[in-house]
Amino acid sequence: APPAIFILGLPHPLLPYRPPRPPPPQRAMQRLRRIRLRRQAAAKYPDVHINDREANRASRFPTNNITTTKYTLLNFIPKNLLEQFRRITNVYFLCVVIITLIPAISPLNPLTSIAPLVFVLGVTALKEAYEDFLRYKADARVNGRKYTVFLPDGGTRRKASRDLVVGDVIELKADDTLPADVIPLCSALPSGSVYVETAQLDGETNLKEKLCPSALQNKGRDGCTALRGTVTGELPNADLYQFTGSITPEGESRIGLEKENLLLRGTQVRNTEWAVGMVLYTGVKSKLSLNQKQPPSKFSTVERRLNKCVIGIFTFKMFCVVVVTVLTAAFHANDAQDAWYLDFEGESAAFQAVKNFFSYFALLSFMIPMSLMVTLEVVKVFQGSFMEWDKKMARDPHNVEETGCKAKTSNLNDELALVQYVFSDKTGTLTSNCMVFHQCGVNGTVYANAGEGQLREVVQAGGDNADWVREFCVCLAVCHDVNNPEMKNGRFDYKAESPDEKALVEGAEANGFVFNRRTQEGVHVTYPDGSDHYFEVLRRIAFTSSRRRMSVLVRMEDGSIRLYSKGADSVMGDLLSGSQRNTDLKAKTFDDIEEFCRTGLRTLIMGYRDLSEDEAAQVLARYDETTAKEGEARKKAVDVVDDDLEKDLEMIGCSAIEDKLQDDVPGTIHNLLQSGIRVWMITGDKMATAENIALSCRLLSRSMEIVKIDTPKSRGDLLDTLNSKKVKYCDGDQSKRKVMGMIINGSALNYIFELTDEEKRQKRKTTKLAEPFLKVALMCHSVVCCRVTPLQKANIVKLVKEETKCISLSIGDGANDVSMIQEAHIGVGIFGKEGTQAARSADYAIHEFRHLRRLLTVHGRWSFVRNAQLIQYYIYKNSAVFLVQFWFAFYCGYSAQTIYDDWIVTMFNILFTSIPPFFYALFEKDIDDDIIDEYPEAYRNVQSGKHFTYSSLVTWMLLALWHSLVFFFGPVLMIANEPFVYDGKTAGLRFFGAVCATIGITTVILKLAIESNTWNVFVHLGIWGSIASYWLFFLGESFLAYFVPTQYWQFVAVVTNPNFWALYIFTIVVCLAPDAIFNFMRRQLYPEDWMILQEAKKTRKLSRSDITEMNVT
């Protein structure tokens, strides 16, 4: 037996101590963590053998076949059904179908529930199948493109894109689309350049220059097609703007590869006759595929509220079922035993109650409209199409297809009417992003007409500042990423990724320093005297949003080496040499920058640094050393060398670029503000620039009391400032407060969003600074956030969205706006000159900011009014007609006998009452668009969402309850004295049910007619055609005795009975007259805003002062 000390689990005094083992689940997690870390440490993209399929087969690279389809022929039905039955309403109706399939408890023919469910599932499945078929055709078109592949034996073969594998050497011709991520080996251009258009990746139509490694370009076409060796690349990732790798030809040294040496899948070859490249990443591992992610799912307020309403209706239905079940048990226990003719012998009260519970569960199931979801989804698709067809939302009304709005999702159409906060980017969103070189400051001197050739005159005239001006112009003409220009109409046409780059090069050209061509080794610049000068480019350091600067290391014609650099003043000031950091020149230049910013100009600082041959050789050697590293280690090593190179700069001057506002931006912002929408402008510009733009676009005004929060000294200093502003503006007498605006700096936002260690330990979601900042900001008419990063943009939206619980919308045009767009409830992208990444990631895409006004106040408003009425009407009509079954239970001994014919029940939602609300939701307009545009305050009427609230739904349900009573008890009174029909027989159950159905269906259709404000041919067709379809259907089934024996001759029995016609007219009047009278009295005594605006449309007697008196809270 073991010693007691081991039984107790205590350590033995003579044995070494071993810590207790963790429990099994914890041990398993630790083991998995170790395995994952080992895999991450060993993660490395396999070496690729050039043009050697056998050697590459062992690495099991993915195929190049691209599949974006959601289904296959084998899994379509099960997968689609699985997705559809994730909706709780479909599961609910499936349960109803199961109940109706049990003859012992089903009061209905199973077809009454099967047919509507199959209809709903079928319509959705057909829609999914069509969309997936379009994806399949697109995939087949892409995978079937043919390319020339160079075989190891020296021959060639045409292969489809799907058959390409990693390591293949292929030929690319002009206008070819890249089938995979490819390393260019050589090209037809002597410089080794390959020009590509990346519109499919980022939407930018400007050509980008990619480079073949010079050592391989020198081998020529034949040498590259016969090339052997290995290529090392980083692990596949989604970053389009980063790549590191190396290529090692057989018997030669390693050659470093960077982002300029990678052609991405989806790009198109332009201005290059041919190029030879090696396939590196294929299929799902290409950067294009890795970037094709589904956007975050967004659900509208109407959808969320509808789900809760369905639960409420289900609860009410279950209440009715329980009431009938209890009464069933009481009736069976007290009265049914004496009624021998009911044949209840052998059935207990409990059994009968349980049986009737399921029977009435199926019988009253139609109170929840099965086809509502499908109708709402189809309606939203059409509403989105109306937005795309709207000529007033197109940049070119004659080309709506290409320049109009794009509705990327239809789920949020009605959400557009509830927006309370708009967060907007500035550059390219409010401004046109059409940059013009306007002014500059060189060596402390401002040249106000620099964009008109003033600098050329200074250089030609000579003088003390001529050399500095020449150096400034050379920096503009050399330090850039502009592609080789084309000559058009006697001038060079420059293409650049950034409009700023293009403007600066055009500014240099305007002053006689013309960038005329680029080679792989350098750039050529023509001086004002006509002489051509060559600058050998030793190293080019690209601009990034994190670095906020660009540099180029060049060898001058005299052999000297110089680094030219340009960037934002926020970073360039710290890179100046020690002798210039505190000089009058720096102070004067920064004063000039402030003055430029006050007039709304964009600024950059230019500088240079001279390097000796030894210094340059050391720097280039350090760059060469980084090629031995891979992945993130190489990127970090390159960044270190870049930072060491870009320092000790001598300031040359600063540039000022003008970016004009887009058309009607001030009017659009003024309209949005009048609509009750608060607008925040979020930009990376300086505070002075941002303030000037905000004033010019009427976001801020001189009469406002503007709260400015600039760069704080510390977190505590910012907290004191915010608390003082809070006390001053939020805790005082609000009646005397002026209209406020706020301007806040990005450095202050850093403190607001960055949690301290103590706040992290407290597990706070926001900092202590967030509360006072938000309280002051929400009091403001509008807010301007400047000097912000892309992450801060998203954080601002997230803070306001979560703390206010209000609907937010973000709008931008660049890739740096994507996070902000996806964070908001609604994202709107602008097709801009910075590409279409914002438009592609948004819910809606437009071409100009002014289109946002119509998108929100017209289409958004109409969509919300239509969808809200559609949902409530659907619930009303089903409840009104099928609550009759509940009242009938009190007359049939709670036997679950159905009062309606099974075919009438089946076709009720499919045919009789589906078309009118569909056309209503497409064409209803409570007020016209020109009135909305003239009186934007009308937007506030729907902004609060009062058209669809729980109280409004209860009102519709009470109306349905009243109408159901009339539908049932009207016919009850008619047959109370056993009226005779035409052949002398008395009315029976089928006659009674037909009368109830006829009255009910006609009344609910005419109820929609009373609610309609817009009448056109479709609305007329829907309403009168639906009533006619019911009568024709009733007529048809009355003469088809073989198929519907219970309805045989019922049509004749009903229409030949004069009591029916009297009741028909009387019940419709009783039901609808109060509604019409109520609507009339409300319009006369308590009119809503839209009612007054309707009259304004007709009479044109409404003045602006009348609008201010409206109740638009």
Q: What's the pLDDT at 907?
A: 86
HSE (side-chain half, CA atoms, 13 Å) at 392: 10
Residue 955 C-alpha from the chain's centroid: 35
Q: 342 falls in which pLDDT band (50, 70, 90)?
A: low
Which residue has 């109940």 as its token pair?
99
Q: Please say if the pLDDT value at position 132 is more than 90.
A: no
Rounded to whole angstroms, how far apart are CA atoms 755 and 715?
Answer: 11
- What are the phi and psi torsion angles at 1047 (to 5°)? -100, 5
Token pair for 428: 């390219």
**Cβ proximity of 604 and 568 under 8 Å:** yes
What is the identity of the amino acid at 41?
A: A
8 Å CB contact between 427 and 665: no
List Cβ neighbours of 1044 (8 Å cut-off, separation of 6 or more). 901, 903, 1037, 1038
Confidence class for position 967, pLDDT limits 50, 70, 90: very high
pLDDT reading at 1107 higher than 60: no
Which residues contact residue 72 at a Cβ distance below 8 angstroms, ignoring those fewer than 6 apart?
none
Which residues sit opposite 186 in a β-bridge?
A: 276
Q: Which amino acid is at 180?
A: A
Indicate left, alpha or beta for 441 from its phi (over 0: left) and psi (-120 to 50: alpha).
beta
Backbone angles phi, psi at 767, to 5 degrees: -80, 170
810-814, 918-922, 1026-1030: the lowest-pLDDT one: 810-814
Pairing of strands 807-812, 826-830: parallel
Cβ atoms of 808 and 801 closer than 8 Å: yes
The model's confidence at residue 1113, banded by pLDDT at 50, 70 and 90, is very low
Mean pLDDT score of the chain: 84
- Give the H/E segment covering residue 261: none
Q: For residues 554 and 475, what is the distance between their CA atoms, to the nearest angstrom?
A: 11
Kindly report the number of other CB atoms within 10 A of residue 337's CB atom: 12
pLDDT (average), residues 245-259: 87
Q: Give the pLDDT mean for 1076-1099.
A: 81
pLDDT tens-digit series, residues 162-213 = 999 999 999 999 889 899 999 999 998 887 888 888 766 665 666 788 889 8
Q: Is the pLDDT of residue 1112 over 50?
A: no
Number of Cβ within 10 Å of residue 1057's Cβ equals: 21
Q: Which range in 323-337, 444-458, 746-760 is most confidently predicted, on average pLDDT?
A: 444-458
Longest pairwise C-alpha distance within the chain: 124
pLDDT tens by residue, 14-52: 545 455 555 666 666 666 666 655 555 446 788 999 999
- State mean pLDDT over 780-793: 86
Res 337: pLDDT: 64
Q: Which two tokens stand for residue 60?
A: 């099991």
Neighbours of 656 (CB within 10 A): 26
Distance CA 262, CA 277 (A): 9
Query: Encoding tokens for residue 287?
Result: 């950067």
Residues 830-881: tens digit of each pLDDT:
887 656 677 877 889 999 999 999 999 999 999 999 999 999 999 999 999 9
pLDDT value of residue 229:
92
Which has the minimum average pLDDT: 200-209, 213-222, 1024-1033?
200-209
CA 298 to chain centre: 8
pLDDT over threshold 80, residue 1106:
no
Predicted confidence (pLDDT) at residue 1005 exceeds the cutoff of 90: yes
Confidence of residue 356 (pLDDT cuts 50, 70, 90): confident
Confidence (pTM) = 0.78
722 in Cβ contact with 709 (< 8 Å): yes
Mean pLDDT of 956-964: 93
Residues identified as active-site? 425
Q: How far is 428 from 835, CA to CA, in rounded Å?
A: 10
Q: Which residue has the higher pLDDT, 354 or 24?
A: 354
Helix (H) or strand (E) holding 951: helix 950-974
Interatomic CA distance for residues 386 and 649, integer angstroms:
56
Helices and strands (H, E) in the chain, number of each type: 44, 32
* Rounded CA separation 282/288 (Å): 10
SS3 call for 217 = helix
Query: pLDDT band at residue 301, thresholds of 50, 70 and 90?
Result: confident
Beta carbons within 8 Å of 654's beta carbon, 6+ residues apart: 440, 441, 569, 589, 592, 593, 596, 603, 604, 605, 606
Give 3-state DSSP helix, strand, coil % of the chain, rounded to 5. 50, 15, 30
